[in-house]
Structure 1
C-alpha cells in the first residue's frame, strides 16, 4: 500500500472520515464551546480576550502555530482587508488573509451570530483536524487532503506561492527544488506558469490526477511512508478485516504510475 492508497481510502469516504474527526473527544469539546460562545465575540477585543475561541478560529484556518501572535493578529483584524496595503494582504500568507476575510470586523462583515458563519468555521476546524489526524501516520496524505480542499479555489500561481503547503505539493509533484523559493517571487511565478495551469484544479478529474502524481512522487522521495498510513486508515474505517481484502483497481493504477515514475 502507498500514500496514494491511503489518500484514496480517505478521499472516497470523506463524510465518514469527517465524522470520525468531529467525534474525537477533544475536537467535539472545542467545537461545542465555539458554537456556544462565538455569538458573543462581536468585536476584535472580545475575540482576542477569549483565547479558547481565538485558538479555535486560528486552528480552523491552519494557523495553529500562530496562536500566540496576538499583537500581529490584532493588527490584521484592525486593518481589515479592503486595502492592498492592509497587513493581511502584505504578509503573503493565504491562511491569514482567509482568516481576516472571515473575521472582517473592520469592514463590518464578521457576522459571528450567523448560522452559516458558524457552520463554515466549524467545518474548517474539522477539516483541519482530519488532515492532522492523517498526518500523524503519513504527512503525504495530510498534504494531499489539504491540496484537494484548497487548490480548486486558486485564481493564479501567486496563490500557490502564498501557501507553503500548496507550494510543497506542487514542488514535490513537479520535481521543483525547494531552494527555488529563494528566487524573486516573479521568477517563481514564471516557473510555475510554465509548468501548470491552476484552472485545471477546478476540474475534479485533473485535480485527482495531479494528486495521484504527487502521491507517487512523495513515496518516491519518502520510501515506506505510505505503508503504515494505508493500514491504519483502512483498519479504522472498515475494521481489521479490510486488510484481507484485495486492493481496488484504481489503487493498482496508481501503483503502476508510481512504478513508472521510478523507472520500473
Structure 2
C-alpha cells in the first residue's frame, strides 16, 4: 500500500498543517513498496555504471537519478541529459553551466562523469545520498497530485537555501531563480507579480524582482532570503496569496491582512 501525502485545505492553513505533519507523512510515504523497489534496484545497479551513456541507457536508473533532482519530466530527453552529464561542470562553456536551470548543473556535478576520472557512482555511499534526494522529491511529487502549491512551497524551501549558499554573484543567483520554473512561480506569487511580467526583457524582470524583494522583504540578497526567518515569511506569503487566488483563503483572513503588511 502506498501512502498519499495530503493537506486538508490550501492556502496558509494548509501550509501550517503540512509543517506540523510532514515528518510523519514523509516516514509513511518512504515505506511505499514501489518506492522501495526503485531504490533497491538503484542501490544494486548504480555501482556498475561507468559512463553517462550507460546511465541514460537504463530507464529505471535514469528515472531515479532525474527524479532526485526534480528533472523527472526530462526522462525522454536522453540526448540532452547525456550531454549535460558528459560535459561536466568544470569548463565554463559546459552545457550544464550554460543552462539557466541550476538543477542540470547539480545533476552533472553530483554524478561526476565529466568532472572526475572516476565517476561518483563508484563511491560506496553514493546510492544512499541519491536515495535521500529521491525520497524527498518523490514525496513532493505525490503531494503535488493533490495540491501542487504545497509541492512548490516545499521545493522552494529547499532550493532557495541551495541557491543562496552557491558561491556565485547575487545577480547570477536571481537568474537561477528566474530560470527554474517551480521556484520562479513561488517568488512571482510571493512578490505579487502579474503573469504578463514574464514577457518583459530579462534585465527588466531582474530589476523588478530586486525592487519588489527589497520593498516586501527588506532585502534582495538571495543568501539572506534563504535564512529561516525570511524564508518562512516568503513561504507564508506565497501560500496565503496563492490560496486567495485559488479561493482557499478568504480576502478578509487575519493571516492575509497581516501578510499584506509585509
Give the TM-score of the pair, scaled to structure 1: 0.81
Pairing 1:98-109 to 2, within 5 Å after superposition: 98-108=106-116
Q: Which moved more, 1:109-118 or 1:37-46?
A: 109-118
Provide the residue aligned with 1:199 in structure 2: 223
Provide the residue aligned with 1:175 in structure 2: 192
Judged with a 3 Å threshold, the aligned counterparts in structure 2 of structure 1 residues 176 and 98 are, in CA distance, closer, same or farther, namely: same
Provide the residue aligned with 2:98 in structure 1: 90
Which string of whole-angstrom CA distances, capped at 9 and with x for unpartnered residues, describes residues 4-52 of structure 1? 2222233344432222222122211111111111111122122122111
SS of residue in 2 equivalent to 1:68: coil
Out of 119, 139, 156, the residue aligned to residue 147 of structure 1 is 156
Provide the residue aligned with 1:78 in structure 2: 86
1:17 aligns with 2:25: yes
Q: Distance in 1 between matches of 2:95 and 2:249?
A: 38
Q: Distance in 1 between matches of 2:156 and 2:23?
A: 17
Provide the residue aligned with 1:117 in structure 2: 126
Which string of whole-angstrom CA distances, capped at 9 and with x for unpartnered residues, describes residues 100-139 of structure 1? 1112211116311324422221111111111112212211
Provide the residue aligned with 1:212 in structure 2: 236
Provide the residue aligned with 1:127 in structure 2: 136
Out of 9, 12, 29, the residue aligned to residue 37 of structure 2 is 29
CA contact (8 A) 2:11 2:249 kept: yes
SS of residue in 2 equivalent to 1:169: helix
Provide the residue aligned with 1:65 in structure 2: 73
CA contact (8 A) 2:225 2:231 kept: yes
Which string of whole-angstrom CA distances, capped at 9 and with x for unpartnered residues, describes residues 225-252 of structure 1? 89xxxxxxxxxxxxxxxxxxxxxxxxxx
Root-mean-square deviation over aligned CA pairs: 2.2
What runs of 5+ residues in structure 1 fail to find an aligned partner?
Answer: 227-254
Judged with a 3 Å threshold, the aligned counterparts in structure 2 of structure 1 residues 262 and 152 are, in CA distance, closer, same or farther, namely: closer
SS of residue in 2 equivalent to 1:53: helix
Give the TM-score of the pair, scaled to structure 2: 0.82
What runs of 5+ residues in structure 2 fail to find an aligned partner?
Answer: 1-8, 165-172, 214-220
